[in-house]
Amino acid sequence: MKITREQVEHVARLARLELSEAELDTFTGQMDSILSYVEKLNALDTEGIVPTSHAVPMENAFRADEPTGSIGVEAALANAPLRAQSFFRVPKVIE
């Protein structure tokens, strides 16, 4: 067994989870199965294999970063609930 019931209880306590006895038994078995599978994967020869972060190729969906003019103070403050001159007025948060 790769993980003990006590270790599962410890992780549950850290995560502030209250698990029943049946759930502890179930999760101990499930986590043991997961760790056993990971151990099998660790036995594979991965020499020369490039690490990937995605299973499929990903492209950046962002637009080109081109400088433009600002929207201006009046437009920025147009929907501000409170304003003081050319600033947003917000409640004081530090005493």
Give the model confidence (pLDDT) of 5-30 as tens digits.
999 999 999 999 999 999 999 999 99
The more confident residue out of 49 and 1 is: 49
Whole-structure pTM value: 0.49
Domain boundaries, given as residue ranges, for the chain:
5-43
Q: How far apart are CA 77 and CA 85, in angstroms?
A: 10
Question: What is the pLDDT confidence band of residue 37, given thresholds at 50, 70 and 90?
Answer: very high
Architecture of domain 5-43: Orthogonal Bundle (1.10)
- Number of neighbouring beta carbons within 10 Å of residue 30: 12
Alpha helical stretches, state H, 1-88: 5-14, 21-42, 73-76
Q: What is the pLDDT of residue 77?
A: 92
Distance between alpha carbon 61 and the CA centroid of its chain, in Å?
20
Flag whether pLDDT at 93 surpasses 70: yes
Q: What is the pLDDT of residue 33?
A: 94
Cα end-to-end distance, the chain, whole Å: 55
Give the model confidence (pLDDT) of 39-72 as tens digits.
888 888 888 888 877 778 778 778 888 899 999 9
Q: How far apart are CA 60 and CA 2, in angstroms?
A: 40
